[in-house]
Chains A and B, each alone.
Chain A
């Protein structure tokens, strides 16, 4: 199965974690996860609220200390080389509040710029314009949407090689959301970067994604390329004899059975050839195999029986 550290095949990873674990009191936030985000990937990390997505990002920025395991960003250990790591990261945090509520936006931008040798002032001015950030507004008085747009300016203006975006479309109305995502796509076309997007709004960002990770209760239950996800999570329509029982070792994500019981519709996880042969061997006839939209396919890992 994917999601486990096989051989790292000499691939370069922008983000790699090794058995990363994190607890808040008795709550397990992350249970030994092995993230692998290849350089240049747009990796969407999905999972329900509380699955550990934000925690994973905070560990990468050394804003949280893991209880076990470790994390690397471009090969740098996040715990011991935090400042170097942060210099290479543009971060849009989940929460909208800024630390400097009393500052004016323009002043905050200058303040943040001073921390980044790579800050591109001309580009920052362009971003301020396209995101409609008003420099004389006080940070503390911004709406959620305005705050998010300011965060995007701060995250993109130093053209970092890694972007960590935590629920980036949260708080944006649909028009601004589309404009923001278009701006992000344009940014990526001009400035090659690795992007990790944590979200439960998969549809909004899926067109950008080429890698997908699924977190469930602190465990990384799937991690693969978009192509692999498309190939291995598909819907099968199967004709079965009356009273048929499925073979026990199918990885069933969702099941619909017709009233007459002769037709079954499944989302199954596995190589289609193997699954089809397996079903045929058990006396069922696969009528068709339908690919799924990315969201449906990814959600299969959240619906799958835990026992699998």
Chain B
């Protein structure tokens, strides 16, 4: 798992770390029972206070995303396989929050943003469909 922090992101660092872990789980680079880096390792890698990492891990534990094995470290919960929908929703929520902030900064409201996203997604879908037709029946993945 690679964790990136953005110094220009105004949110607390522990929230950014939590988001990065959620993202890694959703995209599949972190899977059930995978170990997370130790607090010490991640603190050194990100040059953050170890307490910041601990706080992120504790919050993730409270949310049931990770669990602690005494003396062994922090691991991704086996339940993440099942609760996928929930986690995707909470990740989507964070992405939406950032998009909404950006929209408001540009003087747009939520409705205009949602409409633009739907329109854009539909266009991209049509373009992809055209490509797929042109290539015949392509391979999976």
Contact = CB atoms under 8 A, between A and B. Distances in A.
Nearest to B104: A288
A12 interface: no
A227 B12 contact: yes
B107 to A, nearest CB: 7
Given A203-B7, A230-B10, A293-B10, A189 B104 contact: no
B64 to A, nearest CB: 25
Interface in B51-104: 51-52, 101, 104
Contacts, number: 67
A291 B11 contact: yes
A284 interface: no
A207 B43 CA distance: 10
B18 to A, nearest CB: 16
Interface residues of A, number: 31
Given A185-B44, A190-B40, A288-B104, A207 B50 contact: no
B102 to A, nearest CB: 10
A205 B48 CA distance: 9
Interface of A: 40, 42, 178, 181-186, 188-190, 203, 205-210, 226-227, 230, 237, 287-288, 290-295
11 contacts: A181-B47, A182-B45, A185-B47, A189-B44, A208-B47, A226-B12, A230-B10, A237-B105, A293-B7, A293-B9, A295-B7
Interface of B: 5, 7-13, 39-40, 43-52, 101, 104-105, 107
4 nearest CB pairs, A to B:
A291-B10, A189-B50, A186-B44, A189-B40
